[in-house]
Amino acid sequence: MNLEQLNAVAIKMVTPGKGLLAADESTGTIGKRFDSINTDNNETNRRDWREMLFRTDKAMQDHVSGVILFEETLYQSAKDGTSFVDLIKSHGSIPGIKVDMGAKPLAGRPGETITEGLDGLRDRLKKYYAQGARFAKWRAVIEISHPGYADGVTPSAGAIKANTHALARYAALCQEANIVPIVEPEILMGGFHGIQTCQDVTEHVLKALYIELWEQGVELEGTILKPNMIVPGKRCMVQASVEEVAERTLHVLTNCVPSAVPGIAFLSGGQDNIDATAHLDMMNKIGGFPWKLTYSYGRALQQSALFAWKGDTANYDAAQAAFYKRAHMNGLASKGEWDASLED
C-alpha cells in the first residue's frame, strides 16, 4: 500500500468546485431509468448515454473530479474507439469503479440486507487497477422500518455490524491494491421516520463504521466517506428546512468522522435535484469542519439530462447543457457559492 499515493488521489477527488459523477448504475437500474424515457436497455444505448456525459467537456473539466463506473463501462470505448478510461482521464478526472455485487437479504434478519461481493475482490481489484481505476465504491444499505413493521424495528444491531464490517474489509482490500475506497453506508430516506430518527441511526452507523475501519487497519487518509444527509423520510408528515438538514448533518459528521478523512462526498439518496444542491451549499456556507464536503451524485446530476436526451443522439446538445447546469450548480454548492436565483 502506497499511502502517499492514496492520499493524493483522495484529495483530488474532493477538489473544491468539483465532485464525483456516479455513473455506476447496474444494467437493471439503468434499465429503469431508460424505461422512463422509452429507450431500450441495450449495450449501445448505455454506451451512447454515458459517452454523452463524458464528452460534456466543460462539465467534466470544471466540475467532475472522478467518475464511478459500472464494470461494463470500465472496459467500454466510445464510438471513435477511445476507451472511456482515457476519455475520462483526458478531462483531468479520475476513473473509479463500483465493486460490490448488490444488497441481498440478510439471513435471520427479515427485511434487512447485506451487501455482497467480497469473494474474489482481491483479484478483481488488481484487474481494475490495471484498467485504470484509482478509486472504488461499495454501498451498504440500511433501512429504517415503519414503527408498525411486523418483524420488529430496523435497522438491527446485527445488520449494522454485518454491513459496517463488510465495508471495512472491502476498504482494506482496496488500499492493499492502491485503490482509494469510498465507503458508503446509506440510510435510506424512503420511510415514514422523522429527522431525529435519521440522525440517531446515522450516528450509530457511522460510529460503528469507524470502529470497524480501525480494526481492519484501514488508513483514513486514503479514504472518502459517502454518507446520506440527515433528512426525514419521504413519507414523513413533517419535512425539514434546508438549514435544519445542514445543521443536523454537520452535527453528526462532527461527532463521528475523524479529521484524518480528506473528504466527504454526499449521496443524493433520491432527493429532489435542487434540494440536494441547496443542502450541500448550506453546509459549506456554515463551514468550520476539517474535511472537504462535496457531492457524489447520480440521479441528481443526470436526471434532467436524461429527460432531455430521450434516447436520441439528435438531443445531445440539450442533454449536455442540462448535465453541465447541474454539474455547475453543484460545483458552486461545494464551495458554498450557490444561490437559488442561479437556477432560473
Which residue out of 12, 98, 137, 226 is catalytically annotated?
A: 226
Q: What is the C-alpha to C-alpha distance for residues 143 and 43, in angstroms, rounded to an integer?
A: 32
Which residue out of 25, 184, 186, 212 is catalytically annotated?
A: 184
Q: What is the C-alpha to C-alpha distance for residues 294 and 292, in angstroms, rounded to an integer?
A: 7
Q: What dihedral do alpha carbons 259, 128, 4, 214 form, nearest 10°?
A: 40
247 tagged catalytic:
no
Contact 177, 134 (CB under 8 A): no
226 tagged catalytic:
yes
Length of the chain: 344
Nearest Cα neighbor of 66 from 22, 26, 98 is: 22
Question: Which three three-digit cell numbers place residue 126?
Answer: 488488481
Question: Which three three-digit cell numbers place residue 305?
Answer: 439530462
DSSP string, 129-156: HHHT--EEEEEEEE-PPPTT-TT--SS-
Q: What is the C-alpha to C-alpha distance for residues 338 and 309, in angstroms, rounded to an integer?
A: 26
Question: Which residues are the active-site residues?
Answer: 184, 226
